[in-house]
Amino acid sequence: MPTDRPVTLRAIAEELGVSAKTVSNAFSRPDQLSDRLREEVLATARRLGYPGPNPLAAGLRRGRVGAIGVAYDNGLSYAFDDPVAVELLAGASTVAEPAGAGLLLVPGSVDAHRREAAVTDAVVDGMVVSSLADDDPLVVAAVGRRLPLAVVDQPRPDRLAELGAPDTPWVGIDDRAAAAAVAGHVLALGHRRIAVVSFGLHREPIRRGLVDEAGQAAATYAVSRDRLAGYRDAAAGVGIDWAGVPVFHGEDSTPAVGAAGAAAVLATDPRPTALLCTSDRLAEGVLRTAARLGLRVPADLSVAGFDDAAPAAGLGLTTVRQPTRRKGEEAVRALLDRLAGQPGAGPRTLPTELVVRTSTGPPPVS
């Protein structure tokens, strides 16, 4: 029996009659001692069943642990089902991995208190936070930890400044302009009766369903707010009264919500001829409802998405391509730079591109 309690550096040191520091060096700084002694130390370590230097203790002393936290708006389990989230993680990992940094996926939770605790307790050197609402306590907790941070999409830089973290690296796109671009395309095709299917506007859902202008303006998810504003900009450009445009918002970005949203907005009178969706996954559900109602796309109904994520190409979806993967890359890169001592990089806006496929066309002649 080697031992009943954990074997530590000190145990090996005593066994061999050398200092603890020498044992430490045998593992972490081989050049600091003779090969002969080093071999002896390692052999003794093996014999005693020493698990190697405890990374936790080493991390405490060194001040870094080689891990980057990733906090996402929704739970982890949701994240892995959303191709956009997965792509973000993929991007993050391509930069983190060569740097030898692990990614700690911070558990989300319905329970607000535990959600915060998870961020507070994460053992990491820095954190990427993504897609959080302006009023999410998670943001406050993350900033409050005074940990190097990098933000993807939301909260916006101005909100970060408000929270006392003005130089936080931020990566995102111009959501308003991108949304205006896709709406502009649809309107240019001649559509005048449009509707919107959006994911959540607020963290705490007052009521899912159609939402009026006041509700839209009060959205605490900056991305949702800005995309709606972009649609509205485009509508204003051709003289459409926004008050008459049905806007549905559901809980999250899933086909199920999209399907429900489509049912809701297509029930309004006059029936819209084009639906703008704030994500491709929503659009996927919209297409499903359209099929169920016997509406041909795009002959009877045009549908546009957002993201150009996994299902879009296969579905022939007109959408806005955004560099999700690059967002993950840039966020981690900025974080690593900061950890290496460079100053905060500030906001960085990546380009987007309208992708026209077959889900949009001229409105039906009615």
Partner DNA sequence: CCTCCGTGCTTCATCGATGAAGAAGACGGG
Partner DNA sequence: CCCGTCTTCTTCATCGATGAAGCACGGAGG
Q: Which option in DNA, its own copies, none does residue 32 bind, with CB closer than 5 to 8 A by kind?
A: DNA
Nearest approach, Cβ of 246 to DNA (angstroms)? 51
Residue from the set 10, 114, 292, 296 that interacts with DNA by CB under 7 A: 10
Nearest approach, Cβ of 21 to DNA (angstroms)? 4
Cβ closer to DNA: 55 or 351? 55
Q: Is the dihedral of CA 175, 179, 182, 185 positive or negative?
A: negative
User: Using the rule CB under 7 A, is 9 a contact of DNA?
Assistant: yes
Q: Which residue has the tokens 């093996």?
A: 46
Whole-angstrom distance, CA of residue 88 vs CA of residue 331: 10
Q: Which option in its own copies, DNA, none does residue 9 bind, with CB closer than 5 to 8 A by kind?
A: DNA
Question: Which of 326, 346, 349 has the alpha carbon at shortest distance from 176?
Answer: 349
Nearest approach, Cβ of 225 to its own copies (angstroms)? 28
Q: Is 325 helix (H, G, I), strand (E, B) or coil?
A: helix
Phi, psi of 195 (to 5 degrees): -145, 165
Cβ closer to its own copies: 147 or 263? 147
307 Cβ neighbours under 8 A, 6+ residues apart:
84, 279, 280, 319, 320, 321, 322, 324
Residue from the set 3, 14, 29, 218 that interacts with DNA by CB under 7 A: 29
Q: Which option in its own copies, DNA, none does residue 314 bind, with CB closer than 5 to 8 A by kind?
A: its own copies
Residue 203 is given by DSSP the state S
Burial 112-146 (b: 16+ CB within 10 A, else e): eeebbebbeebebbbbbbbbbbbebbbbebbbebe
Q: Which option in DNA, its own copies, none does residue 85 bind, with CB closer than 5 to 8 A by kind?
A: none
Q: How many residues bind DNA (CB under 7 A)?
A: 29
Nearest approach, Cβ of 126 to DNA (angstroms)? 16
Beta strands in 176-301 (DSSP E): 194-198, 209-210, 247-249, 274-277
Whole-angstrom distance, CA of residue 319 vs CA of residue 181: 10
Contact yes or no for 90/315 (Cβ under 8 A): no
- Output the six-digit token pair for 345: 């990089």
| Range 36-55, binding DNA (CB under 7 A) | 36-37, 52-54
Cβ closer to its own copies: 12 or 101? 101
Q: Which residues bind its own copies (CB under 8 A)?
A: 49, 51-52, 54-60, 65-67, 69, 75-77, 79-81, 86-87, 89-90, 93-94, 96-109, 114, 117-118, 120-123, 144-147, 314
User: Using the rule CB under 7 A, is 8 a contact of DNA?
Assistant: yes
User: Using the rule CB under 7 A, is 20 a contact of DNA?
Assistant: yes
User: Using the rule CB under 7 A, is 57 a contact of DNA?
Assistant: yes
Q: Is the dihedral of CA 89, 92, 96, 102 positive or negative?
A: negative
User: Using the rule CB under 7 A, is 147 a contact of DNA?
Assistant: no
Burial 14-48 (b: 16+ CB within 10 A, else e): ebbebeeebbbbbbeeeeebeeeebebbbebbeee
Nearest approach, Cβ of 338 to DNA (angstroms)? 18
Angle between helices 35-48 and 20-28 (to 10 degrees): 100
Q: Which option in DNA, its own copies, none does residue 22 bind, with CB closer than 5 to 8 A by kind?
A: DNA
Q: Which option in its own copies, DNA, none does residue 356 bind, with CB closer than 5 to 8 A by kind?
A: none
Cβ closer to its own copies: 19 or 120? 120
Residue from the set 18, 186, 201, 320 that interacts with DNA by CB under 7 A: 18
Judged by the rule CB under 7 A, the positions of this chain that interact with DNA are 6, 8-10, 17-22, 24-25, 27-29, 32-34, 36-37, 52-54, 57-58, 60-63
